[in-house]
Amino acid sequence: NILPHSCVCVCVCQNASYLQRPDPDLPICVERTVLVWLPLAFLWLCAPWGFTTLCKKPAKAQLSKLYICKQVVAGLLLLTAIAELALTLAEDYGPSSDSTAQKHPAALYTNPVLFAVSWVVVMLCQECVRRRPRSVDSGSLFVFWLLQVLCAVFQFQTLLRDALNKEEIDDLPRFCLFYISYGLQLIALVLSAIADVSPEVKIISQTVRKNPEAKATFLSRITFSWFNSMLIKGFKRPLVQEDMWDLNEKDSTQTICREFEDIMAKELKKAHSSLQKKQNKRKTKNDHQSGLAKGVSQDVLVMEEMGKKKEKKKKKKKDSESDYPNSWLVRTIAKTFKGVLLETALYKLIQDLLAFASPQFLKLMISFTQDKTSHAWTGYLYAVLLLVVAFLQSVILQQYSHRCLILGMKVHVALMAAVYKKVHLLKESTAGEIVNLISADAQRFNEVTNFLHLLWSYPLQIALAIAFLWIELGPSVLAGVLVMVLMVPINGWLATKSRGFQVENMKFKDTRMKIVNDILNGIKVLKYYAWESSFEAQVQEIREKELKVMRKFAYLSSVSTFIFSCAPAIVSLVTFAVFVSVSPDNILDAEKAFTSISLFNILRLPLAMLPELISIMVQTTVSKKRLKKFLSGDDLDTMAVTRDDSAAVSMTDGTYAWERDTEPVLKNVSLDIKPGRLVAVVGAVGSGKTSLISALLGELHSLRGRINIKGSVAYVPQQAWIQNTTLKDNILFGSNLDEEHYLSVVDACALGPDLDLLPGRDQTEIGEKGINLSGGQKQRVSLARAVYSSADVYLLDDPLSAVDSHVGKHLFERVIGPKGLLKDKTRILVTHGISFLPYVDEIIVLVNGVVFEVGSYDGLRASKGAFSEFLETYGKDKSNNSDYEQIDTLLEGLEPQADDSPEDIVSSTLKRENSLRHSQRVRVRKNSSVRFKKDSGDKKGQRLIEKEAMETGRVKFSVYLQYMRSMGWCFVTWSFLFYFIQNVAIIGQNLIGVFGALGLAQGFLVFFGTILIADGSISASRTLHTNLLSNILKAPMVFFDTTPSGRIVNRFAKDIFTVDEMIPMSFRSWILCILGVLGTLFVICLATPIFTAVVVPMAVVYYFVQRFYVPTSRQLRRLDSVSRSPIYSHFGETISGLSVIRAYGHQQRFLKQNEDTIDQNLKSVYPWFVSNRSALVLYIKLFFFFPTLFAVISRDSLNSGLVGLSISYALSVTQILNWLVRMTSELETNIVAMERVREYAEIKNEAPWITSNRPPDDWPTETYQIPSKSSLTNCLFRIIEASEGRILIDGIDISTLGLHDLRSRLAIIPQDPVLFSGTLRMNLDPFEKSSDEEIWTVLELAHLKDYVRGLPTGLQHEVSEGGENLSVGQRQLLCLARALLRKSRILILDEATAAVDLETDDLIQNTIRTEFSHCTVLTIAHRLNTILDSSRVMVLDFGKIVEFDSPSVLLNNKQRHFYAMAKDAGIRGGETSTAKNMST
């Protein structure tokens, strides 16, 4: 058993004799050299990577029992190596050695030394693993032990076989040492497969829902078996969000974003400087050209006209490209994720190379079946090697795919977080655009990472396939290459056209989402005005344009698919034809044909996927441009407001505009406000009061001047911004709770009575945009937030206009005024309330953006200027101060009251709709109008907005049926038929060998099938979107009150995107996969009939195994959809409250909240990725193994051609089955979007818009009666349906009329002046029923004619989202113009003049008196002077009518409510007149 000296020579000679026999073996020298050195070489290559941790400071890691065992085993192995070396030395040079005898060969010296050194290396590696933080094992050590054990198996059986054959052991010491060593190596292999979990990881696992991946071993990680616990749980019951594991730290949003943002900042800086250089160069060039142009003759002018159009196009393109820095985004992504990119590239390379091993084994298999003399073990060896290669390929592919998906997720998260952060830095951004950036554009980057490596992998696969084909067919293969080259220009043209369509499509998507956002924000106004159908038509018009572009894109894709379906057939046909015709010696036998066909099959995927890849890259290029433009846009100037310790607030010579190139809204404004002063800002509508506050916040573009503010700022906007959280959290706004301070703030802001009314007191959840609070309550919560923040400077933008006069007085006295909580703070108060002006330190009068007068109240009155005249007209005399003081004593016993009924509009509606089962009616004492008792059943933290509903279990078959019904059965049937015949053509092509005709035929069939599916899916998209939109618009108001807009936006954005683009792709791929699998199994069964016996049981097992995996995958997809809605809601909420967030300096808190919201979503996204990487794929490999095995067993009865066909099809079936698993899972997870769209398309509607009972054309003509203020408007417009009693107008019960018939006959000027993005004209007359003359007339009556005439585009002036480019007062006047245009007989004024100054209010009141003199006017007002000419006044207190009479009668009763409120407003008994109005 001793190796001979001439080891290598003998090995070569012996090799044939060892293998050319029925029981083969390897030569001893190979076993003792190559098989020993191979694992050791692997260890030594990997070791240096691990040794890096030895150089670092050791972590405080305890010595675990497992670690000690591993080191003991390695130590024992070291001893066996030393023992073997000692034995050899003793035998050769020991005292008992024979000096004449032949010495042992070198291998017996080198191997023990190599082993001894290697075991020391192993011990060091195990120490490195122990020191590495949170490390549980070493993958390289596990692979080393596995290789070591496998390679030693040959020596193991050789020694055993020799001993059994000779019945004695030649070299007992070495025999014993080898088997001891082998046993220890087996133990080491087992130990290396066990996780050595450090105490640190154990503690983390116990305290949180730790991801078991952190404790997973190498073996568990490559097979994803660590995920089994979730699969089992998901199989037993539907998963819920609470079942999700916490994210690994490296996968959390914070970790991803930190790295991405650092690199992005550097790359953007570089890109900006290179852009600056380019612009400077261009400027220099243009200056030079303009200098030359001065001397050019007049003849040139003739040519100018011709060149104008071209120039415009070029200039437009150049401008758009040169406005923002280029080529930084891809670089940033590449640098941030370079580690994962390189790792995935390596996996892809190995997988591609392994793919080419299979055709070579196929070639050997065919030659084995042809050569009947070859030993049977050869066939079995090839079959096992094919299985091993396929298994390795599968494992590596799984790792590659998983890492690609994780990379995509990380890129998506980084971009979403970057967009959100950028939103905080921009002056304004539209919700529609932002939603598209995160739902479509960032999502595209997520998808493209799965295909990124294919950009180099496909060309590599094509090159390798051509190289192997060259070996098989020689230069003939060049003919096929030529065909492929000719396809490149066609491809280029298709890509360019596709890109154009994609850009167009994204623009339509943006516009559509903008209008949808507008609809959701102003849904109540749409219902009041009965304008739903107009806005529905607008959305549908844009949707039709979007679908038209989608159809063009789909047709282009079909052409692309046709070309590349024909490609493999044409390439193989041309190659074979040239091969046979070039020389009579070229014979196309089975071996050549099927090896070539399997290589052509490898070519098929790259060639078929290239158009798909190009299309995806094109779409991503469009998204890349949009993201680059947004992320590199100009930020707000953070230095616009300085923060030094001079004056409290100072502005020096300030000129400010909303945009860089627009007219300034503030001109040459200079202010100097001392600390602790209360300064009032007054002026007419549009005079620049809100602009002044915005300038102080740094929200305006500075053209000139400087602003300084000392200390922190608190801001109360004119329209309160309320978050969808509890009332308490809205007030605390991220600050720590100081109970005493909190209670004093709540009391001072008159919120005490409101808390008693709310079902959960301050723990009651407030709906989106504060829908379950009245306007006054919202404003007081907004004020309480500011007061609680304890800032140094308070900017108060007219907070008192939205509250009743007595509440306004209370707030002024207790909070803002000289004796209020803020008495020592600097306060700038924008106000229209004259009664507060005597108590302020200073008054600033603004006129058209210019400071007209500044001074104290008395000083300005004495100056007899504009302010003095204004006071004379609208103010009260100084003598009224005594009255004012009397009111103080009169109201001492009166608690501040909630300015709405105990049962809010929303609460009562919810109760009626049974949406909040736990709603409880607050009972009001009959004998008291002010005090009331708390309901003992109050529930803390009552939720208004319930968790989003989510389907569980399998997607109902009815959902699939509905999608196919939406497509049209004709499209579905014909497309399936075309695909079926195409599949038959492919089988025929391979069986009959008629490549050309059938290849072209299947290309045409795919083309027609794809076009039919495209038409069908566009039809489905149209139907589903129409149903969704139509039903959302017909949903009752309670639905919008209890559903965050993010959920609805999610349906219109992500879910409709999935219906438009993802489902058709999944549906088509699934049909092709199913037919492909059936066709392949048919061919294999035809070639090897014995396979039929296996295919049925395997198919059954396959079905059940798949059913085990799919429920988890499907439910995780649903959780992903549900947890994505809060991301959109949070984005929307942030955009609407940007100025407030920035004023308080809470950007970081909101960024953190956004990270947490995204993390919640990732908790379901990450496991979904893993659920697709199941062991099912490894099971699929058995499908492939059996035909190969049966081909070996029955090689005598099969011809080599059929064996080749069977195995080449078996090679492809694993790929198709793999794809089928993925497509089934993807189709089922994507169809969830269809299920979610259907859910909202089937919401219960409000009453019909039009019924058979139509009112007369001149209806209504008389007055009507109605009982209560809080529900007044909503009952009248049937936003809330009456639960008992009825409302009659002209004797007609309004509940019998269609909603549009009713609402279109009433006019309202609502409390919140809502405008929609679009033209001014569209905002007044969306149905375009009125002429321009009529519109100009109503604008004149609404005192807006001069303003609109002054706009460059007049009536076509574009109103921004929510009317942000108009002041609140101007928006209110536009609402008045709307009402005037309606010419209705009944007008409701709901706090219609709260946001306008007294002068404008007076003008509005005069307009209403004259223009609506023939109408019934119902006024809900806080300003009592506006309602004193009403016929009757209704006073409500906690839902009860406490007074109802003419104003003169009520004012004479000094003990009643109305008198007290009038005194607050400074109104005396003789100031009333009569008119035909009723007020509450």
pLDDT of residue 1454: 80
pLDDT of residue 485: 76
The secondary structure of 1085-1132, three-state, reads HHHCHHHHHHHHHHHHHHHHHHHHHHHHHHHHHHHHHHHHHHHHHHHH
Distances (CA, A) of 199 to 134, 206, 217: 9, 10, 16
CA-CA distance, 1220 to 1209, in Å (whole number)? 16
Residue in this structure with the two tokens 């497969």, named with its chain if needed: 193
| Greater model confidence, 839 or 1232 | 839
Judge contact between 795 and 693, C-beta under 8 A. Answer: yes
Mean pLDDT for the stretch of residues 243-248: 88
Residue in this structure with the two tokens 């504009």, named with its chain if needed: 866
pLDDT above 80 for 602 = no
pLDDT above 90 for 547 = yes
SS3 36: helix
H or E element that contains 885: helix 881-890
> Residue 959's closest CA among 673, 1187, 1228?
1228
CA-CA distance, 88 to 104, in Å (whole number)? 7
Residue in this structure with the two tokens 């192993």, named with its chain if needed: 122
Mean pLDDT for the stretch of residues 504-528: 87
pLDDT of residue 795: 92
pLDDT of residue 544: 93
Residue type, 983: N
DSSP 431-448: HHHHHHIIIIIHHHHHHH
| Greater model confidence, 640 or 61 | 640
Mean pLDDT for the stretch of residues 528-540: 90
| Greater model confidence, 518 or 29 | 518
Mean pLDDT for the stretch of residues 516-522: 87
pLDDT of residue 1480: 47
DSSP conformation class of 586: -
Highest mean pLDDT of the ranges 815-829, 893-907, 1082-1096: 815-829
Angle between helices 532-582 and 477-521 in degrees, nearest 10: 170
pLDDT of residue 184: 94
Token pair for residue 1251?
């019924």
Distances (CA, A) of 477 to 468, 486, 624: 10, 15, 39
CA-CA distance, 1113 to 118, in Å (whole number)? 44
CA-CA distance, 542 to 537, in Å (whole number)? 9
Overall residue count recorded for the chain in this entry: 1480
CA-CA distance, 1423 to 156, in Å (whole number)? 101
| Greater model confidence, 988 or 476 | 476
pLDDT of residue 302: 45
Report residue 785's pLDDT band, with 50, 70 and 90 as the boundaries: very high
pLDDT of residue 33: 83
Report residue 949's pLDDT band, with 50, 70 and 90 as the boundaries: low
pLDDT of residue 428: 66
pLDDT above 80 for 1235 = yes
Distances (CA, A) of 7 to 2, 12, 24, 213: 11, 9, 19, 48
Token pair for residue 880?
């009224």
pLDDT of residue 542: 92
Report residue 662's pLDDT band, with 50, 70 and 90 as the boundaries: confident
pLDDT above 60 for 317 = no
pLDDT in tens, 797-814: 988 887 877 788 888 889
Sign of CA dihedral 890, 892, 895, 900: positive
In sequence order, what are the residues at sequence separation of 6 or more whose Cβ sits closer than 8 angstroms to the Cβ of residue 473? 575, 576, 579, 586, 592, 596
In sequence order, what are the residues at sequence separation of 6 or more whose Cβ sits closer than 8 angstroms to the Cβ of residue 872? none
| Greater model confidence, 1455 or 410 | 410
Choice among 283-292, 329-338, 477-486, 1357-1366 with the minimum mean pLDDT: 283-292
Mean pLDDT for the stretch of residues 140-161: 89
Mean pLDDT for the stretch of residues 172-177: 88
| Greater model confidence, 62 or 353 | 353
Choice among 537-546, 877-886, 949-958, 1263-1272 with the minimum mean pLDDT: 877-886
Mean pLDDT for the stretch of residues 368-382: 79
Q: State the average pLDDT for the chain.
A: 79
| Greater model confidence, 900 or 23 | 23
pTM value is: 0.73
- Helix, strand and coil content of the chain, in percent to the nearest 5, comes to 65, 5, 30
pLDDT above 70 for 356 = yes
Bridge-based pairing state of the strands 826-830 and 793-797: parallel
pLDDT above 70 for 1292 = yes
Report residue 1312's pLDDT band, with 50, 70 and 90 as the boundaries: confident
CA-CA distance, 398 to 404, in Å (whole number)? 10
pLDDT of residue 323: 65
Mean pLDDT for the stretch of residues 772-785: 86
CA-CA distance, 415 to 626, in Å (whole number)? 12
pLDDT in tens, 43-61: 998 888 777 766 666 656 6
pLDDT of residue 951: 63
Judge contact between 128 and 54, C-beta under 8 A. Answer: yes
| Greater model confidence, 1271 or 1291 | 1291
| Greater model confidence, 536 or 1436 | 536
Judge contact between 664 and 671, C-beta under 8 A. Answer: no
Mean pLDDT for the stretch of residues 1260-1265: 56
Choice among 312-316, 351-355, 1246-1250, 1455-1459 with the minimum mean pLDDT: 312-316
Report residue 346's pLDDT band, with 50, 70 and 90 as the boundaries: very high
Sheet strand arrangement including 649-657: 641-642, 701-709, 649-657, 666-673
Mean pLDDT for the stretch of residues 474-495: 80
pLDDT of residue 616: 77
pLDDT above 50 for 962 = yes
Report residue 1304's pLDDT band, with 50, 70 and 90 as the boundaries: confident
CA 85 to chain centre: 65
Choice among 817-826, 1152-1161, 1253-1262, 1411-1420 with the minimum mean pLDDT: 1253-1262
pLDDT in tens, 391-405: 888 888 888 988 998
Distances (CA, A) of 950 to 239, 434, 823, 911, 1118: 11, 26, 52, 23, 7
H or E element that contains 460: helix 454-473
CA-CA distance, 1346 to 1323, in Å (whole number)? 18
pLDDT of residue 1478: 47
pLDDT above 50 for 1188 = yes
Choice among 737-746, 986-995, 1230-1239, 1346-1355 with the minimum mean pLDDT: 986-995
Choice among 382-391, 471-480, 525-534, 913-922 with the minimum mean pLDDT: 913-922
pLDDT above 50 for 546 = yes
Q: Nearest-5° angle of CA 91, CA 94, CA 97?
A: 60
pLDDT of residue 228: 86
Highest mean pLDDT of the ranges 340-349, 869-878, 1006-1015, 1470-1479: 340-349
CA-CA distance, 121 to 123, in Å (whole number)? 5
CA-CA distance, 711 to 734, in Å (whole number)? 19
Mean pLDDT for the stretch of residues 1291-1308: 84
CA-CA distance, 1383 to 1043, in Å (whole number)? 34
Report residue 884's pLDDT band, with 50, 70 and 90 as the boundaries: very low
